[in-house]
């Protein structure tokens, strides 16, 4: 194109369509090279076979170092004055090290990024590093539906409180009872975590800190004293099903989580180091359970089942035992312990962790060591045990190691 040619609206109007037999869809006119154009380098007009005309800025991306282009509008909707203004703004961004197309695309994504999209596309892939990510999915889809549509940049504390109020006004479809405050708090905690992620990754407003979890004394304090633990282990080892009995004994001696111990394989045992390796735990890390002589003896007493790799082999082919709730109920009955579902003093499978944690804490074992034993992600989860045992320090006699040797 001759540099003497002036850039005018009339010139653009007179550009002929690209021939229908042309190989390319469009032909380009270098508008930057035209007289009195007032346009930065790289502005083109692409003329299609139907005669449609659109403006484009071609450039080298300062971010990727590769050729790139960004649309500047269409003729005649975009006049020359607007074309000059927009193209100069983009060129200035390029000089400042900003890729205008990447910037604009990000803004479009941000504008259309709802809470639901952010959860599925950004939060969930990160959350899958922990074993409990399916719980997050269930809580988000079941309880936060009313705010799924909210743009992530427009989420407010009021939206999170709205979910709280909705849950407080409903009953659980499973139990037919109002949702427990602890259940509501788990959903609130999830929404707060999602918001913090959006704040870190997408500069969304941080509103989570404005929402407080509900105040509730919901700590499950059911746990066994030293004497009760001795009786419990004795009953467990005499239980008719050897695998189930051994499982319960080791569960309450190690403080392991139910599934993390129940699904262990014989190959997870290191007999020389006297340990059991758990490759994946609830918080996404691996964990090693170190065993006393008594625990090793219990493991060696468990009969192996042919073609079943699990330590605590179940009756189904190549499957572990089912959750030992029935056996636990039987043992509690023999010990004269009440079985009151929902009561915070009730002994459950999870009470194994409280038992070990509280016995250790009662003897002044540092919280850091308790956290290691129970594989807590942080000390906050272990602090409960110092509170649990304040009124029972004199009742609980000795440290866990001494207690285990007494049982032996």
The string of pLDDT tens digits covering residues 95-131 is 999 888 887 766 555 667 899 989 998 898 888 877 7
Pair 243, 199 in one domain: no
3-state secondary structure of 210: helix
Quote the number of domains for the chain: 3
Q: Tell whether 219 is covered by a domain.
A: no
Residue 44 confidence class, pLDDT cut points 50, 70, 90: very high
Distance set, CA 196 to CA 20, 37, 58 (Å): 54, 48, 38
- Residue 342 is predicted with a pLDDT of 65
Distance CA 209, CA 228 (A): 42
Selection from 295, 278, 310, 302 nearest residue 401 by Cα: 295
The domain boundary residue, chosen from 63, 78, 102: 102
Q: Tell whether 217 is covered by a domain.
A: no
Sorted by sequence, the CB contacts under 8 Å of residue 148 that are 6+ apart come out as 114, 115, 116
What is the four-CA torsion angle of 155, 161, 163, 168, rounded to 10 degrees? 180
Structure pTM? 0.49
The domain boundary residue, chosen from 79, 102, 125: 102
Buried-state track 90-127, b at ≥16 Cβ within 10 A, e below 16: bbebbeeeebbbeeeeeeeeeeebbbbbbbeebbeeeb
- Residue 398 is predicted with a pLDDT of 36
Q: What's the CATH code of the domain at 19?
A: 3.30.160.390
Its sign, for the CA torsion 193, 196, 200, 201, is positive
Distance CA 398, CA 401 (A): 8
| Average pLDDT, integer, range 222-238 | 90
Q: Containing domain of residue 75, as a range?
A: 9-102
Pair 351, 290 in one domain: yes
Pair 167, 199 in one domain: yes
| Average pLDDT, integer, range 352-356 | 85
Lookup: tokens for 297 = 């003896």
- Residues in a beta bridge with 59: 68
Q: Tell whether 244 is covered by a domain.
A: yes
* Residue 379 clears pLDDT 60, i.e. is over it: no
Q: Tell whether 131 is covered by a domain.
A: yes
Lowest pLDDT segment from 177-191, 262-276, 393-407: 393-407
The domain boundary residue, chosen from 210, 243, 263: 210
Contact (Cβ atoms closer than 8 angstroms) between residue 248 and residue 324:
yes
- Residue 406 is predicted with a pLDDT of 58
């Amino acid at each position: 194109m001759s540099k003497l040619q002036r850039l005018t609206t009339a010139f653009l109007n007179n550009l002929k369509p690209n021939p229908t037999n042309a190989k390319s869809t469009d032909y380009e006119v270098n508008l930057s090279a035209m007289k009195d154009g007032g346009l930065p380098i790289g502005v083109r007009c692409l003329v299609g076979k139907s005669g449609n005309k659109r403006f484009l800025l071609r450039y080298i991306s300062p971010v990727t170092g590769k050729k790139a282009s960004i649309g500047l509008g269409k003729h005649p909707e975009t006049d020359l004055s607007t074309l000059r203004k927009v193209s100069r703004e983009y060129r200035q961004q390029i000089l400042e090290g900003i890729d205008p197309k990447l910037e604009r695309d990000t803004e479009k994504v941000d504008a259309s990024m709802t809470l639901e999209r952010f959860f599925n596309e950004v939060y969930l892939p990160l959350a899958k590093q922990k074993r409990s990510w399916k719980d997050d999915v269930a809580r988000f889809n079941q309880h936060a539906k009313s705010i799924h549509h909210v743009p992530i940049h427009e989420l407010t504390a009021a939206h999170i409180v709205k979910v709280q109020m909705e849950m407080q006004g409903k009953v659980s479809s499973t139990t037919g009872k109002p949702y427990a405050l602890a259940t509501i708090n788990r959903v609130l905690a999830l929404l707060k975590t999602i918001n913090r992620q959006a704040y870190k990754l997408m500069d969304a407003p941080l509103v989570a800190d404005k929402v407080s979890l509900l105040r509730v004394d919901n700590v499950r304090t059911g746990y066994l004293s030293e004497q009760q633990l001795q009786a419990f282990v004795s009953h467990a080892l005499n239980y008719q099903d050897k695998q189930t009995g051994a499982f319960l004994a080791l569960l309450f001696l190690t403080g392991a989580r139910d599934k993390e111990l129940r699904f262990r394989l014989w190959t997870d045992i290191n007999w020389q180091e006297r340990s059991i390796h758990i490759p994946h735990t609830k918080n996404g890390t691996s964990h090693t359970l170190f065993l006393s002589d008594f625990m090793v003896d219990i493991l060696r007493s468990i009969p192996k089942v042919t073609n079943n790799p699990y330590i605590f082999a179940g009756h189904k082919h190549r499957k572990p035992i089912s959750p030992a709730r029935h056996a636990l109920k039987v043992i509690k009955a023999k010990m004269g312990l009440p079985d009151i579902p929902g009561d915070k003093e009730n002994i459950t499978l999870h009470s194994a962790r409280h038992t070990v944690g509280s016995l250790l804490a009662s003897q002044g074992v540092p919280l850091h060591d308790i956290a290691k034993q129970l594989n807590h992600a942080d000390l906050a989860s272990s602090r409960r045990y110092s509170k649990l045992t304040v009124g029972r320090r004199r009742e609980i006699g000795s440290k866990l190691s001494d207690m285990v040797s007494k049982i032996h």
